[in-house]
Amino acid sequence: MEGTHRDAGKDAIANFNEGFNCAESVAKALCEALGLDVKCAVKAATPFGGGVGGRGYLCGAVTGAVIALGLCKGRGAEEEDRRVCTKIARRFVDDFLNEFSTVLCRDILGVDLTTPEGSKKHKEYLRDEKCCPVIIFAANKMHDLINSLE
In tens, the pLDDT along 43-97 reads: 999 999 999 999 999 999 999 999 999 999 999 999 999 999 999 999 999 999 9
- Please check whether residue 3 lies inside any domain of the structure: no
Number of domains making up the chain: 1
pTM of the entire predicted model? 0.94
- Please check whether residue 1 lies inside any domain of the structure: no
- Please check whether residue 48 lies inside any domain of the structure: yes
- Please check whether residue 111 lies inside any domain of the structure: yes
Partner residues linked to 89 by β-bridges: none
- Please check whether residue 88 lies inside any domain of the structure: yes
Distances 149 to 11, 87, 120 between C-alpha atoms, Å: 22, 11, 42
- Please check whether residue 115 lies inside any domain of the structure: yes
